[in-house]
Structure 1
Amino acid sequence: MKHPDHRETIALEAAEVISHQAFDGDQYILRLQAPECATLAQPGQFAHLSCDPMLAMRRPLSIMRVDAEKGWVDFLYKAVGRGTRLLANREAGETLSLLGPIGKPFTFDPSRPRALLLGGGVGIPPMVFFAEHLKNSRDSQPLVLMGSEVPFPFTGRPSRIMVPGMPDGVIAAMPLLDDWGVASRLASLQGYSGCFEGYITDLARRWLDEQNDEQRRQISVYACGPHPMLAAVAKLANDYKLSCQVSLEEYMACAVGGCAGCVVKVQTPEGAAMKRVCVDGPVFEASTVF
C-alpha cells in the first residue's frame, strides 16, 4: 500500500514548554519549542502530544501557529478529558514528546482567491494558521469567521477592516488577525458584544447572500470544528455551489495510520471507502464526507 507523501515528514522530538496560558472556559494556549515540527508544519496539520508521563496514550492537537526561524509551535486546546486535563498542568521548562506534523493540510485554490475560513470552538486553531499562511499571498483574500459558546481565548475588539455585506453591528474581530490585515468576525449565542448572534454558518449565509454571482464564483470555503458544524458548512457550500474543504476531528490512538481507529466513510470515484482521518485527512473535500 502506498502511503500518503506527508507521512514522510513526521518528526519525533522532545519539545520544551515555553509558555502555557490559561483562559476562561478551560482553554489553554501551549507554546512548545519544537523546531522540526515548526519547519515542516502546514495549515490543517496536527501533532500527537504526550500529556503526562503517567498516561501512555497521546492526544492529537491542531497546530495554531508556528515560527520556523525561532522553532516554536502553538496549540490552542480545551481541557475536556483526562488527557487534556493532565496536559493543562504542564509548566514552562518541562518537556513533552511531540510527534508531528501529521496529516493532509488545506490546499488553497488560487482560482477562487476569496477564501472563507470558518472555525468553531477548538476548530479555530487551523483557521488562524491558514490565515497567517494566506496573508503572505498576494493571490488570496481571506475572511475568517469564528464561533464559540465559551469566552473566546482572546479579547475581541472592533475591527479596523471593513467587510462589505456584514450585518450591521457585527464588528468584533480577533486582534491578532486584525493586526495582520486579515478580516475576521465573531459569532456566538452568548450575547458577546459586537458578535453575531447565531452560528457562524448563519453569519456566512448572511454574508454570501450579499455577494453577487461573480463575487461568489471567486469564493472557496475551508472549515474546522465539531461534526454538526461541518455538516452545516457542507450544506452551505452545496447551496451556493462553492468548493469546500473540511478538517475532521476524531479520536485517535496511533495517529500515523497503523491502528485504523479513526476511519470515516468517504465517497471516492470507485465508490464508498473507509479513510483514516489521521493520514488520509484530516482535511477532506466536504462533498465526499457529507
Structure 2
Amino acid sequence: MNKPHRDTLYLENAEILSHEAFAGEQFILRIVAPECATKAQPGSFVHLQCDPLQPMRRPISIMRVSPEEGWVDLLYKRVGTGTTLLSRRQPGESISLLGPIGQPFRPDPSRTKPLLIGGGVGMPPMVFLAESLYQERKKQPFVILGSEVPFPFNPQPSQLLLPELPADVIATMPLMDDWGIPCRLASQQDFAGCFQGYVTELARHWLTSLNEQTRGEVEIFSCGPHPMLEAVAELAAEFDLPCQVSLEEFMACGVGGCAGCVVEVQTAKGPVMKRVCVDGPVFEASKVF
C-alpha cells in the first residue's frame, strides 16, 4: 500500500527486481517503486528497511530511475549489520521503502558546462544528475568518478576523446558513453585507463585547460566522503565557481523529526543548524565548508 506524505514522500512495499554484487563489497539493487521513481530528482535518497529483523532504516542515494517502468536503482556498500542483511535479500522479495527524500541539485540555467564529481558511494547522485542532463539535452556535462576499490561497473575505453587530458586517461563508465557524456575515472589503485590520483586533481587539470570564458560556464556538483567534498569546495573557491554538494550523514528517522543529522550552515543572519535529510542533502558548498 502506498501512503503519500507531503505530496512527494511515499511509503512503498517495493519488489526486488535484481540484486547484483560487485567487488569491494558493493551492490546494485533494482526495486519496483513507481511512486518514488516518478517523484525522485537527482540528489534524492530513500530510507530503506534492510530487513524485517532490522527496524532501523538506512539512507541510500538514488542512482537511476525509470518513471515509465517504475524501477529505482540503488548502489550501496556493505559496511555494517544493516547493509549486510540487505545484501542477502533476493529478487522477488518485498522491501519497505520511504522516499524520495531531500532537496535535489538545482543547476543554474545560465551555466552550460556542469562538472560532476563523485567518489565511492557518492557516485550514484552524479549518475542520476548526468542522466537527467542527458535527457534535457541543454548542457554538456563532464563527469569524474573516483573509487579506491574496483568500480561497480566494467570500465571501458571511452569513444569520446578529451584532448585536454592525458591520452592514457581514457577509462569511462559505459553508460556515460552511451549517453554521449564525457566521463573519466580516477583512482590511486593503478586501475587501467584511470587517472592516477584524486578526483580533484583531475578536475583541476580539466579546469586549467579551459579558457576564461568557457570556465565561466562551469558549475560544480559533487557527492562523496567528507574530506573529498571539502577538497571539492576548496577547488570551487580557487576557481571562483558555484558548487553544490550532497552530504552523507548518519540518519535515524530520515524525515526531519529526530534532528540527528544536523550540520552548521552559514546564512546571511549567521550560522544555523540544518537537517541533512530534509533541508539537504544538497547544499551550497560555500555554506557548509
Q: Give the TM interval when normalised to the shorter protein.
A: over 0.9
- AA aligned to 1:96 is I
Does 1:130 pair with 2:129? yes
Partner of 1:57: 56
**Contact 1:44 1:105 (C-alpha < 8 Å) held by counterparts:** yes
| Closer/same/farther in 2, CA of residues 179 and 164 from structure 1, 3 Å limit | same
Q: CA deviation at 1:26?
A: 0.4
Q: Distance in 1 between matches of 2:264 and 2:63?
A: 27
What is the match of residue 146 of structure 2? 147
Write the mapping of 1:1-290 to structure 2, written as runs, cut at 5 A. Answer: 7-290=6-289
Over the aligned positions, Cα root-mean-square deviation in angstroms equals 0.9
Q: Compute the displacement of 1:190 (Å).
A: 0.2
The DSSP-based 3-state class of the residue aligned with 2:136 is: coil
CA distance in 2, matches of 1:124, 1:256: 23
> In the superposition, relative to structure 1, how do residues 130 and 110 fare at CA in structure 2: closer, same or farther (>3 Å)?
same
2-structure distance, mates of 1:8, 1:247 = 23
CA separation in 2, counterparts of 1:15 and 1:8? Answer: 19
- 2: distance between equivalents of 1:7 and 1:287? 29
Shift of 1:136: 1.7
CA contact (8 A) 1:167 1:206 kept: no
Task: Tell me the distance in 2 between the aligned counterparts of 1:196 and 1:144.
Answer: 13
- Evaluate the alpha carbon distance shift between residue 54 and residue 159 of structure 1 in structure 2; reply closer, same or farther with a 3 A threshold: same
Secondary structure of the 2:18 match is: strand
- Where structure 1 has 5 or more consecutive residues not aligned to the other structure, the ranges are 1-5
Query: How many angstroms does 1:162 deviate by?
Result: 1.7
Deviates more, 1:132-141 or 1:184-193: 132-141
For 1:14 and 1:223, locate their aligned partners in 2 and report how far apart those are by CA, in whole Å: 30
Separation of aligned partners in 2, 1:200 and 1:149: 11
Question: Is the Cα contact below 8 Å between 1:7 and 1:103 reproduced in 2?
Answer: no
Task: State the AA in 2 paired with 1:256.
Answer: V
SS state of the match for residue 64, structure 2? strand
**CA-to-partner distance for each residue in 1:15-50, whole Å, 9 max, x for gaps?**
000000000000000000000000000000000000
CA contact (8 A) 1:113 1:141 kept: yes
Greater than 4 Å deviation, 4+ residue runs? none
Range with greater deviation from structure 2 (266-275 or 158-167): 158-167
| 1:123 Cα deviation from its structure 2 partner | 0.3
- Shift of residue 7, structure 1, vs aligned partner: 4.8
The answer for the alignment partner of 1:3 in structure 2 is none
**CA–CA separation in structure 2 for the residues paired with 1:138 and 1:53:** 42
Per the alignment, in what secondary structure is the counterpart of residue 193 of structure 1? coil
Alpha-carbon distance in 1 for matches of 2:205, 2:12: 45
The offset of 1:168, in angstroms, is: 2.6
Amino acid at match of 2:268: P
- The CA deviation string for residues 164-202 of structure 1, in whole angstroms up to 9 with x for no partner, is 421231000000111111110000000000000001000
- What TM-score, normalized to structure 2? 0.97
For 1:195-248, what per-residue CA distance to the aligned partner results, in whole angstroms no more than 9, with x for missing partners? 000010000001111111001100000000000000000000000000000000
Q: Assess if the C-alpha contact under 8 Å between 1:7 and 1:279 holds in 2.
A: no
TM-score normalised by structure 1 residue count: 0.97
Residues of 2 paired with 1:210 and 1:88: CA distance?
42
2-structure distance, mates of 1:204, 1:264: 26
Percent identical residues:
64
How many angstroms apart in 2 are the aligned matches of 1:161 and 1:169? 13
Deviations for 1:113-159, whole angstroms, at most 9, x for unmatched residues? Answer: 10000000000000000000001223211111000000001111110
Q: Secondary structure at the match of 2:206?
A: helix
Conserved? CA contact 1:7–1:102, under 8 Å? no
Count how many residue pairs are aligned between Structure 1 and Structure 2: 285
- The one-letter amino acid paired with 1:147 is G
Structure 2 gaps of 5+ residues are none
**SS of residue in 2 equivalent to 1:136:** helix
